[in-house]
Structure 1
Amino acid sequence: MFQVDRSQNRLKQLGRTTFTEAGLREREHLQEWLATTPGALGEAIGEELLIIQKEFDGFDGTRERLDLLALDRSGQLVVIENKLDDSGRDVVWQALKYAAYCSSLKKAEIITIFQQYLDRGEGGDAASSICEFLQEDALDEVVLNEGNDQRIVFISANFRREVTATVLWLREHQIDARCVKVLPYLFGEDLFIDLQQVIPTPEAADYMIRMAEKDTEEKSAKGAQRWSHQMRYAFWEEVLEAFREAGLERWQNISPSRDHWLTSSIGVSGCILVLIFLRQEIRVELQLNRSEASENKWLFDQLAKDSEELAGKVGAELEWRRLDDKKVSIIQCKLPVQGYSKENWPEMIEWLKQHYKRMDAAFSERVASLAGQMKSGG
C-alpha cells in the first residue's frame, strides 16, 4: 500500500507490520472491528452482511465457539472465522463443523440468537432488523437458513497452501467458501487495515454470480421459485406493460424482477424513483441515496420546505423520512391494499402509474436543480 505525495509526485510505501508486532489480538481487536463495522468486510466480498452474533457457542454437546455469525441478503447463514497473522492448518475443518452445526438452526432460533446479541449491545428488535436488512415486509414471508447452503468466510493475513487448496475444492463442490486477506500497515503512529478477497478473485466471483442467476432462471422455468417471487414477477410484468403503453420512457428497458421493488433514475446521481409492491401496501417513493449522507440530508431539507406544495402536486399525502441514522432519505406516498389478490392489480397498477407520473413531475426537475446548486457550491 502506498501514499501519494502530490507535492513531489511520488509514491511512498507504507510500512507493513503484523498483528503480533502491533500488539493486537484476534478477539479483542480484529473480531470487534468486523462486528462493529461489518461494512469493511462487505466492501471486501462485494455484498452486505448482517452480523447476528459473536463468540457463538450454542451447539449441543460441544463448548466450541465460532467467531462471527452473519446473515446475507438471501437470508442464509454465514460463518466467519478470523485468524491474525496465520490461518493455521485446521481452520477449514473448524469452520466446516460450525457450518454443519448451524445448518439445523430454525428461524425462531436465529431470531433469538440475534436478539441476544442486540440486547448485549445497542439494543433493538431482531425481527424488524432482519426484515429491514432483507428488505421484506413481514417476517412470515422470510425464509432463513434454507437447506444446506450455509456459507463460510475465512479471514487472515496469510493463508497456508492446505487452506487455500481446500477452499478451492469446496467451491468446486458448490460450497460458498471465501478467503479474505487482512493486512495491517503503519504510517507513523497510525495503523491501517486493508481487506481484500483473494478466493475467489472478484472476476471469478462475478462469473459465479452470473452462473447462479442462470441456474435460478432455469429453476424458475421449472416452477421451483418461491410463490412470492412468482407473484412479484407476474405483477411487475403487468406494471411494465402498462407503463410502456403509457409512454413512460424511463421504463422502456426495465425488466421484471422477483424483488418487491423496481427503480427508475431521475437523471441525478444517487436519486431514484422506486415502485414498491408489498403484500398489504404499494408505494411510490423518491430515494435520495447519494454517496455522501450530508448531501442527501441537505436535499431532503430543501425539499421539505415546500412539503405542502409538493403534496398538492402529487395529490396524495407524503411521508417524509429523513432517517438521520442512515445515509438514505426517503419521500413516499402509499396505498393500503391486498397486493397478492390479483383482482386488485388493475386498480393498483393505475394508482402506481398516476402517482409515479406525479412524483416525477413534482420532484425530478427540482432535485436536479438542487443537485446543480451543490455541484456549483451554491
Structure 2
Amino acid sequence: TLTTVQILQIFQDYLDSSGSSDNAKEVLMDFLEFDDENELLLNDGDQRVILVANNFRKEVTSTVLWLIGHDIQISCFRATPYSNGQNVFLQIDQIIPLPETQEFMIDMKEKEREEKKMSKSTTERKDLLLEFWGLVNKSFEEKSFSRYDRIVAKPYYDHGFHVKGGYFACVIGRHGIRVELYFSSDKDKSKIDSMLNHKQELEKTFGDSLIFERLESKTASRVKFEMPYKELYKKRVRFTDKSGWPARIDWFSDTMPRFCKAVIPVWERMN
C-alpha cells in the first residue's frame, strides 16, 4: 500500500544512510528518463461523520461502507449500556472500520487514488506521444526520409528502428532531446569501442561532434547527438506544452537524417 511519496522517502532514507548526497526523486527520474513529474495529490476527503447507536441495520452499514469507498471519513460506534447496582456504564466499540484494519484501509485508499490519478496522467501522456511522433513521421515523409515509412508511432519517449542489432531513435529525454544509436547488449563495450574507432569519419560526415557513452554501470552503450545547449535553453518548454513541439519536430527532422546518413554505413560495415 505504499504511495509514491512513501517510496521516495524510503529510497531517500537509504541514500542518506549510505552517505550519498543524491536526491531520490532526481535519481529515479534520470534512471527512468521521464520528462514529466506527477503532481502530489493531497487528501481532499476531509468530511468526517461519526454514527453512534446500540444497533446498526444492514442498510446503514452497507451505506457506510459505500461512503468510505468514496473518500468520506465516516465511522460507526456501537454503544452498549450496562448497569451495576446504582452505577451505569456505557461501552463504546468501533465497528466500522475496525480499528485493526483502519490503517490498512486508509493506505489502500491512498494507493487507489494515486493509481487513478497516475492512470489518467499516463493516458494523457500516451495520447500526446502518439500525436507528437505522428507529426514527426509526417515531417520525415515531407523531407523524403524513408527510414520511418513503416514505423508506427507508439506512446513511448523514444521513436526508432533497428539496424543489425542497433537501435536508431529520436528520444525525448528529461533534460532535452537527442538522436542516438543505442546498443542494449554491449556488456563488454566492444560495440561502442568499435564505433569510437571511427569517430573522426563519423563526425566529419555528420558535421558535428558526437557523444560516445560507454554507460559503465549498464550492459548498454550509445552514440548520441543532443540539441545544443544554447538552442535548448531558448526553446525549453515542457513536452506537454504543444507550443514547443514545432521546434522539436524541426530539430528531429533535420538531425535524424544526417545522423543516420553518417552512422548507419559505418555500423553496417562493422557487421
TM-score range, shorter chain: 0.5 to 0.7
Instruction: Say which of 201, 221, 244 aligns to 2:141.
Output: 244
Higher helix share: 2
Contact 1:118 1:126 in 2 (8 A): yes
Instruction: Say which of 241, 254, 276 aligns to 2:171.
Output: 276
Residue 264 of structure 2 corresponds to: 364
1:231 aligns with 2:125: no
SS of residue matched to 1:116: helix
Q: Partner letter of residue 361 of structure 1?
A: K
SS of residue matched to 1:256: coil
Determine the C-alpha separation between the residues in 1 that align with 2:121 and 2:9: 30
Q: Partner letter of residue 226 of structure 2?
A: K
Cα–Cα, structure 1 residues 303 and 343, in superposed 2: closer, same or farther, change >3 Å? same
Residue 317 of structure 1 corresponds to: 209
Instruction: Say which of 296, 300, 305 aligns to 2:197.
Output: 305
What's the CA shift string for 1:26-61, capped at 9, x where partnerless? xxxxxxxxxxxxxxxxxxxxxxxxxxxxxxxxxxxx
Contact 2:33 2:174 in 1 (8 A): no
What's the CA shift string for 1:239-282, capped at 9, x where partnerless? 1122233333331222222221112112x12x111111246522
SS of residue matched to 1:331: strand
Determine the C-alpha separation between the residues in 1 that align with 2:7 and 2:33: 17
Determine the C-alpha separation between the residues in 2 that align with 1:116 and 1:233: 37
Residue 333 of structure 1 corresponds to: 225
**Identical-residue share of aligned pairs (%):** 23
Q: Partner letter of residue 293 of structure 1?
A: K
What's the CA shift string for 1:79-101, capped at 9, x where partnerless? xxxxxxxxxxxxxxxxxxxxxxx
Residue 293 of structure 1 corresponds to: 187
Residue 30 of structure 1 corresponds to: none
Cα–Cα, structure 1 residues 277 and 288, in superposed 2: closer, same or farther, change >3 Å? same
SS of residue matched to 1:262: strand
Contact 2:171 2:178 in 1 (8 A): yes
SS of residue matched to 1:276: strand
Contact 1:319 1:332 in 2 (8 A): yes
Greater Rg by CA: 2
Determine the C-alpha separation between the residues in 2 that align with 1:250 and 1:317: 23
1:345 aligns with 2:245: yes
* Mean Cα deviation higher: 281-290 or 249-258: 249-258
Kindly report which structure 2 residues correspond to 1:178-257, keeping only aligned pairs within 5 A, or say none.
226-257=123-154
Give the TM-score of the pair, scaled to structure 2.
Answer: 0.58
Contact 2:34 2:174 in 1 (8 A): no
Residue 54 of structure 2 corresponds to: none
Determine the C-alpha separation between the residues in 2 that align with 1:304 and 1:258: 32
Cα–Cα, structure 1 residues 132 and 225, in superposed 2: closer, same or farther, change >3 Å? closer
Report deviation, 1:360.
0.9
Contact 1:279 1:340 in 2 (8 A): no
Q: CA RMSD in A?
A: 3.0
Report deviation, 1:128.
3.2
Gaps of 5+ in 1: 1-101, 145-219, 373-378
Determine the C-alpha separation between the residues in 2 that align with 1:301 and 1:142: 41
Report deviation, 1:298.
1.6
Determine the C-alpha separation between the residues in 2 that align with 1:364 and 1:288: 13
Instruction: Say which of 104, 107, 131 aligns to 2:29.
Output: 131
Residue 148 of structure 1 corresponds to: none
Report deviation, 1:283.
1.0
Contact 1:250 1:265 in 2 (8 A): no
Contact 2:30 2:174 in 1 (8 A): no
Report deviation, 1:228.
3.1
Cα–Cα, structure 1 residues 226 and 278, in superposed 2: closer, same or farther, change >3 Å? farther
SS of residue matched to 1:293: coil
Determine the C-alpha separation between the residues in 1 that align with 2:40 and 2:155: 15
Q: Partner letter of residue 287 of structure 1?
A: Y
Gaps of 5+ in 2: 42-118
Q: How many residues align?
A: 185
Cα–Cα, structure 1 residues 136 and 351, in superposed 2: closer, same or farther, change >3 Å? same
